[in-house]
Amino acid sequence: MNELSSLGLILLLALGAGHLVKFARVPEVSGYLVAGIVLGPSVLGWVSEQNLTALEILSEVALGLILFSVGTVFELSRFRRVGRQVLLLTLVESALAATIVSAGMLFLGQSWKTALLLGAVAVATAPASTLMVVRENDSAGPLTDSLLAIIALNNIYCIIAFSLVGSAIDLASGLDGPASLLSTLYVSLYPLAWQLVGSVALGFLVGTLLAAWASKVTETGETLILLGGAILLCVGLSRVLDLSPLVASMAVGATMVNFTRHSGPLFDTLSRTDPPFYAIFFVLAGADLDLGLVGSLGLAGVVYLLGRAGGKLLGARLGAEWLGFEPAVKRFLGLALMAQAGLAVGLVITIQRRFADLAPTVSTIVLASVVVYEIVGPISTRYALVRAGETRLPQHDDLVI
C-alpha cells in the first residue's frame, strides 16, 4: 500500500476508533493508538514499515505542534508565582521514580550502568498524549494547570539525567588520563548544555520571529502558513544543529505566550486545524508499537513498569503534600503522569548508538513497557482528570491549553 492510501486509512480509521472508544469512556488518543496497532505491522500490516518511515515527517510536525502548545504553560507572569513549587514537585516525583527503578534494577542484578540508564529514562512522561487528553476533556483546574508544566519539566529533567548518567558511564569506561578526563567530560557533557541552552535559544529566535510576524497576519489561512512554517523550521533546524526538537518547540511556545498578545488568534487557528495531524501522529505511534515486545517484558520489565509507576505516584503524592498543593493535585497528579512514549524511544535509539553493549537489555525493557504505558497512560490521565473534577462538558467548545 502506498503512503497516500495509508494516510487516508489512518485518518478515517482514527476517526472511527475515536468515536468507538468514547462509549468505553476511554480517551480518543487511546482509540487512535489502538487503530494504529491494528493497522500496523504487528497486526494487519496495512501500514508497513516503509510507510511508517515515509510518514515519519508528519509525526515530527505533529509533535512540534503539540510541544509548541505545551510550551505555552511557561507564561512568566503565572510561572513566577508557582514556578518554584512546580520545579520542586517535579524534582521529587522524577527523583523518586528514577531511584526506585534504578534500585529495583540493581536488586535484580543488573549492572549499575543499565540501572542508572533505565532510571533516567523512567523520568520521561509523554507530553503529547497527556495534552490530548486534557484538550479532549476540556479540563481546567489546579491539577490541569500544574500537570502540563510538570510534564514539560519532566522531559527536561529526563534529558539532564540521561546526559549525566551517560557521561558517568563514559568516564567509568574510558578513563585513560587527565587529558582524556577533560575531553571525556567535554564530549559527554557539552551536548547536554548545548541541547538545553541551544534549544532554548533556537526556540526563542523562532518564537520571536513568529511573534513579530503574527501581528501582521490576520487571515486564518495565513496564520496557519506562518505557524506551520515556524514549527517546521524549528524542528528542522534543531535536527541540523543536534538540538532537542522537544525543548526547542516548547521554547517557541513559551516565547510566543510571553512576548506577544497576538498568540490568541494563533492558538485558535491551531486548535481548529491541527486535529488531523494529531490523529496521524497517534495512529503512527500506535503502528510503531510492537505488540510482540510485551511478551518479552520479563521480570526486569515488570520491575521497570511497577517501579516507574510507583515512583511517580509516591513522588507526586509526597511532593504535593510537602509543598502544599491543592488536594486534587495531591491525590491525582501521579495517575496523570503515567504515559510514556516518544522521548523514551528516542533515548533508546541514543543508547543503541552510544552504549551498544548495554542496548539489548535497555531496549527490550523500555520498548516493551512503552507499549503498556502508551495504552494505559491516557486512560489513567483521563481517570485522574475526571476524578479531580476538572473535566468540562464536551459541548463546551472553549480553548484549553
Partner 1 sequence: MPEPAAYPRAEGKLSPRYRAVLVVAALAILVIGSALRPRKPAPETATPPSQTEVRRLRSLAERQSLETMSRHFAGIAADVSSRLVRIGFESSTGVAWDADFVVAPGQSEPAAASTTLVPESGEPLAGTRVVGGPGLPLSAYRVAGRLEPAVRRESGASDLVPGQWLVAVWRGNAGSAFAPGHFVETRPTQCGELSAREVATSLGLSEPMAGAGLFDLDEVLVAVVLPCNGHYAALSLESVTLGLVRGRSPEGQLRALYGVRLVPLDEGSRRHLAAESGLLVSDVWEGYPADLGGLRPGDVILGVAGRSVASPEDLQPLLGSGESSGVELTVWRAREKRVIRLSPGPHGVPPSGEADGRPGLGLAPPDERFRIGQVAPGSPAADAGIREGDELVRVNGAAPRTPAEAERVLARRGRPVFVEVRSGPRRFGALLEPR
Candidate ranges 32-40, 53-61, 257-265, 299-307; the one touching partner 1 (CB under 8 A):
257-265
Subset of residues 334 to 393 that bind partner 1, contact rule: CB under 8 A: 353-354, 356
Number of chain residues interacting with partner 1 (CB under 8 A): 42
Instruction: Identify the residue among 263, 269, 380, 391 touching partner 1 (CB under 8 A).
Output: 263
Residue 205 interacts with partner 1 (CB under 8 A): yes or no: yes
Report the length, in residues, of the chain.
401
103 CB burial (10 A radius; 0-12, 13-18, 19+): middle
Question: How is 168-220 classified by DSSP, letter by letter?
Answer: HHHHHH---SHHHHHHHHHHHHHHHHIIIIIHHHHHHHHHHHHHHHHTT--SH
- Helical H runs in 108-177? 112-122, 127-136, 142-173
Q: Say whether 1 sits in a helix, a strand or coil.
A: coil
Residue 204 interacts with partner 1 (CB under 8 A): yes or no: yes
Task: Measure the CA–CA gap between 337 and 343, rounded to whole angstroms.
Answer: 14
Task: Measure the CA–CA gap between 26 and 133, rounded to whole angstroms.
Answer: 10
Instruction: Identify the residue among 45, 221, 264, 360 touching partner 1 (CB under 8 A).
Output: 264
Residue 144 interacts with partner 1 (CB under 8 A): yes or no: yes
By beta-carbon proximity to partner 1, the closer residue of 198 and 315 is 198
Instruction: Identify the residue among 60, 136, 145, 274 touching partner 1 (CB under 8 A).
Output: 145
Instruction: Identify the residue among 223, 260, 380, 391 touching partner 1 (CB under 8 A).
Output: 260
Q: How many helices (H) and strands (E) does the chain have?
A: 18, 0
Candidate ranges 19-27, 89-97, 201-209, 321-329; the one touching partner 1 (CB under 8 A):
201-209
Question: Smallest distance from the beta carbon of 383 to partner 1, in angstroms?
Answer: 20
Instruction: Identify the residue among 111, 208, 273, 363 touching partner 1 (CB under 8 A).
Output: 208
- Helical H runs in 194-337? 199-214, 220-240, 245-259, 263-273, 275-288, 292-295, 298-323, 327-336
Question: Smallest distance from the beta carbon of 146 to partner 1, in angstroms?
Answer: 10
| Residue 195 identity | Q
Task: Measure the CA–CA gap between 73 and 253, rounded to whole angstroms.
Answer: 8
Task: Measure the CA–CA gap between 161 and 180, rounded to whole angstroms.
Answer: 22
By beta-carbon proximity to partner 1, the closer residue of 139 and 340 is 139
Candidate ranges 9-17, 37-45, 200-208, 338-346; the one touching partner 1 (CB under 8 A):
200-208
Kindly give, in sequence order, each residue whose CB lies less than 8 Å from that of residue 269, ignoring residues fewer than 6 positions away: 220, 223, 224, 227
Residue 244 interacts with partner 1 (CB under 8 A): yes or no: no
Q: Which three cell numbers stand for residue 144?
A: 490541569
Question: Smallest distance from the beta carbon of 267 to partner 1, in angstroms?
Answer: 5
Task: Measure the CA–CA gap between 170 and 310, rounded to whole angstroms.
Answer: 30
Kindly give, in sequence order, each residue whose CB lies less than 8 Å from that of residue 249, ignoring residues fewer than 6 positions away: 63, 64, 65, 66, 67, 68, 71, 203, 231, 234, 235
DSSP state of 44: T
By beta-carbon proximity to partner 1, the closer residue of 195 and 340 is 195
Residue 198 interacts with partner 1 (CB under 8 A): yes or no: yes
Residue 141 interacts with partner 1 (CB under 8 A): yes or no: yes
Candidate ranges 98-106, 224-232, 263-271, 369-377; the one touching partner 1 (CB under 8 A):
263-271
By beta-carbon proximity to partner 1, the closer residue of 102 and 144 is 144
Instruction: Identify the residue among 172, 197, 225, 349 touching partner 1 (CB under 8 A).
Output: 197
Instruction: Identify the residue among 6, 42, 51, 72 touching partner 1 (CB under 8 A).
Output: 72
Interface residues toward partner 1, by CB under 8 A: 72-73, 75-78, 140-141, 144-145, 174, 186-187, 190-191, 193-194, 197-198, 200-202, 204-205, 208, 241-242, 257-261, 263-264, 267, 353-354, 356, 398-401
